[in-house]
């Protein structure tokens, strides 16, 4: 059974984390997607992979996700990014980090380059930087945009989910752009994207390649893969790219 921990974040607020092999000098940091948590296949696989490779593993649930503090509707890209920054500073300030970001997690991971120089690799899974503006707001009709301004939220619906995206988070997303700034990091960047991803287009993921002019980088299209990339074969491909960074 997976043993979670809770780390206090400000008064009466706690963040649920997975933190393993604390003595290691290298850590995989997994950042999950929107409305996800740490009970899925990817964090479980990565935790077992890190144990096998004898390296550290850290993952967390942002506010309003899983068992962490707060309500989802109150969260923003800034607040979730701050959750990540806080936990990294608390646990990994002197460690080498490989950041793995799934969908929203890739956006939050890219933001961390502003704060930490000890990132030795970045892997995106169905990466969705700036998705609020590029995949939601820009696709709304003028009528629907007027309704968002009136109601202060937009109801995002899919066959698998339905939840509210607040006007606040859309505005906050514009303050957290990452695709218009060059990143000076020389760490390798690998972007995995499902061939049949119907949530985030490959073109958005590929945009990340342009902001890393000094890095070894590669876009990997996964045959028949969906947005999650949680099949056994997908996870084995993911771990092979972690191996490339470590070895």
pLDDT in tens, 175-212: 999 999 999 999 999 999 999 999 999 999 999 999 99
Position 159 confidence tier, pLDDT thresholds 50, 70, 90: low
Residue at 45 is within a domain: yes
Residue at 164 is within a domain: no
CA 160 to each of CA 11, 131, 163, 166, 199: distance values in angstroms, whole numbers, following the listed order: 35, 18, 11, 19, 11
Structurally, the chain folds into a number of domains equal to: 1
Residue at 81 is within a domain: yes
State whether residue 231 is helix, strand or coil.
coil
For residue 45, report the phi and psi dihedrals to the nearest 5 degrees. -65, -45
pLDDT single digits (tens) 66-116: 999 999 989 999 999 999 999 999 999 899 999 999 999 999 999 999 999
Residue at 157 is within a domain: no
Residue at 135 is within a domain: no
Check residue 158 and give its pLDDT. 66
Query: What's the CA angle centered on 59, arms 185 and 69, to 5 degrees?
Result: 120
pLDDT of residue 12 exceeding 90: no
Mean pLDDT of the chain: 94
Residue at 90 is within a domain: yes
Residue at 213 is within a domain: yes
Handedness of CA 230, 234, 238, 239 (dihedral sign): positive
Position 154 confidence tier, pLDDT thresholds 50, 70, 90: confident
Residue at 140 is within a domain: no
Residue 206's domain is classified under what CATH number?
Answer: 3.40.50.1820
């Amino acid at each position: 059974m997976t043993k979670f921990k809770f780390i206090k974040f400000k008064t009466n607020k706690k963040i649920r984390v997975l933190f393993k092999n604390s003595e290691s000098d290298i850590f995989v940091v997994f950042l999950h997607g929107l409305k996800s948590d740490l009970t899925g296949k990817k964090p479980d696989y990565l935790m077992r992979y890190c144990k096998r490779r004898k390296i550290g593993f850290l993952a967390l649930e942002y506010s309003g996700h899983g068992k962490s503090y707060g309500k989802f509707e109150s969260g923003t890209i800034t607040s979730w990014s701050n959750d990540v920054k806080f936990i990294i500073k608390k646990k990994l300030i002197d460690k080498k980090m490989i950041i793995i970001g799934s969908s929203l997690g890739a956006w939050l991971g890219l933001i961390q380059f502003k704060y930490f120089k000890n990132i030795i690799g970045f892997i995106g899974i169905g990466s969705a930087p700036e998705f609020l503006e590029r995949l939601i707001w820009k696709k709304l009709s003028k009528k629907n945009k007027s309704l968002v301004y009136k109601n202060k939220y937009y109801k995002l619906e899919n066959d698998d989910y339905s939840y509210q995206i607040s006007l606040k988070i859309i505005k906050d997303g514009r303050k957290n752009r990452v695709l218009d700034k060059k990143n000076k990091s020389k760490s390798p960047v690998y972007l995995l994207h499902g061939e049949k991803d119907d949530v985030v287009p490959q073109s958005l993921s590929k945009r990340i390649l342009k902001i890393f002019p000094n890095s070894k980088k590669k876009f990997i299209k996964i045959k028949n893969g969906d947005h999650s990339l949680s099949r056994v074969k997908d996870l084995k491909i993911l771990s092979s790219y972690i191996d490339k960074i470590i070895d």
